[in-house]
């Protein structure tokens, strides 16, 4: 068996065309395009590539972007004041805090300063609470919630495999607040039976080998051996690690491709779609705010 690749670009391209049309309609309705404010502190070299991709993606679909570049030595109080200012600005629809932030800034405290309706990464406690309060996929789509971007990308890619999660065993390796846990909830909302594994899980190979749907979000290259993968499984690899000039996923891609039915490549799988769902949330936030303003 050779796995079919679940590439993020086809779905990303389709979504971006749709978002471009929605952004144009918003601009016509209210006179201004959707507007995303990005706060970047300290100019971390590792995040610069992804920052450029976000800015390019905004231009592509017609979302206005403002980059607030702040020095590494800035105080938390000054960042907080900037977030509060952007939160109160009626022309700003979405706010993101680019990660990582320099020590000693507390990213969790700063993120919580973002108003939930402008939290387009879906990572504030209020947004996550709204997500977990919904039981079904349909209820989540109707709720006033902004779903974490990577989790949304993972699950929508899995759905592209045309393997319904309902009744299947989904194993999520990684329990982070913004990827592992929300992904597990989204899969549960689609009626999968979900197991969450983590760094303290004993006999990880046994759980991986029982997964009809496997999601890996550890950020540790090759942590999941390809030989563990259940034959015919759908494998979504959200991990990405730079090693020896290569970008590697959490799953050993070669051996996994010999066993899985579907596999997301690294790079080129979850990543492109994650940026697109950031745009999706920005346009959605703008639409919601416009409906409230215009009635």
Residue 266, helix vs strand vs coil: coil
Please tell me the distance from the alpha carbon of residue 259 to that of residue 224, in angstroms, as a whole number: 13
Continuous segment of H or E residues that includes residue 295: none
How many CA within 13 A on the CB side of residue 70?
Answer: 25
Domain extent listing, the chain: 32-117, 148-270
Q: What is the mean pLDDT of the chain?
A: 96
Please tell me the distance from the alpha carbon of residue 100 to that of residue 38, in angstroms, as a whole number: 13
**In the predicted model, what is the mean pLDDT of residues 5-23?**
98
CATH superfamily of 148-270: NAD(P)-binding Rossmann-like Domain (3.40.50.720)
Task: Give the per-residue pLDDT at 1.
Answer: 64
Is 32-117 in CATH node 3.30.70.1400?
Answer: no
**In the predicted model, what is the mean pLDDT of residues 185-195?**
99
71-124, pLDDT tens digit by residue?
999 999 999 999 999 999 999 999 999 999 999 999 999 999 999 999 999 999
Burial of 46 (0-12, 13-18, 19+ CB in 10 A): exposed
Residue 44 pLDDT more than 90?
no
Cβ within 8 Å of residue 79, ≥6 positions away? 39, 41, 70, 105, 110
Answer whether 32-117 and 148-270 agree in fold: yes
Task: Give the per-residue pLDDT at 295.
Answer: 66
Residue 175, helix vs strand vs coil: coil
Query: What does the radius of gyration of the chain's CA atoms come to, in whole angstroms?
Result: 19
Q: How confident is the model at residue 69 (pLDDT cuts 50, 70, 90)?
A: very high
What share of the chain in percent tops pLDDT 90?
93
131-182, pLDDT tens digit by residue?
999 999 999 999 999 999 999 999 999 999 999 999 999 999 999 999 999 9
Tally Cβ neighbours within 10 Å of residue 225.
14
Please tell me the distance from the alpha carbon of residue 113 to that of residue 131, in angstroms, as a whole number: 19
Residue 214 pLDDT more than 80?
yes
């Amino acid at each position: 068996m050779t796995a079919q690749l679940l590439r993020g670009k086809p779905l990303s391209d389709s979504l971006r065309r749709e978002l471009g049309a929605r952004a144009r309609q918003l601009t016509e309705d209210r006179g201004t395009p959707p507007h995303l404010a990005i706060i970047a502190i300290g100019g971390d070299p590792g995040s610069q590539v992804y920052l450029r991709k976000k800015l390019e993606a905004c231009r592509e679909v017609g979302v206005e972007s403002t980059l607030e570049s702040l020095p590494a030595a800035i105080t938390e109080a000054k960042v907080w004041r900037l977030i509060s200012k952007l939160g109160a600005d009626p022309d700003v629809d979405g706010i993101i805090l680019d990660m990582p932030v320099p020590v000693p800034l507390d990213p969790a405290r700063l993120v919580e300063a973002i108003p939930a309706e402008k939290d387009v990464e879906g990572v504030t406690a209020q947004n996550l609470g709204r997500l977990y309060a919904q039981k079904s996929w349909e209820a989540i789509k109707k709720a006033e919630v902004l779903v974490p971007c990577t989790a949304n990308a993972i699950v929508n890619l899995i759905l592209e495999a045309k393997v319904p999660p309902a009744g299947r065993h989904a194993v999520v390796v990684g329990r982070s607040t913004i990827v592992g846990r929300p992904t597990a909830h989204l899969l549960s909302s689609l009626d999968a039976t979900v197991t969450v594994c983590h760094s303290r899980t004993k006999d990880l190979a046994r759980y991986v080998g029982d997964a009809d749907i496997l999601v890996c979000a550890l950020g540790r290259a090759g942590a999941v051996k390809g030989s563990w993968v259940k034959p015919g499984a759908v494998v979504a690899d959200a991990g990405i690690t730079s090693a020896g000039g290569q970008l590697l996923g959490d799953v050993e891609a070669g051996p996994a491709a010999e066993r899985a039915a579907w596999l997301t490549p690294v790079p080129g799988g979850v990543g492109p779609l994650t940026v697109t769902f950031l745009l999706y949330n920005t346009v959605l936030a703008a639409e919601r705010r416009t409906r409230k303003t215009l009635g």
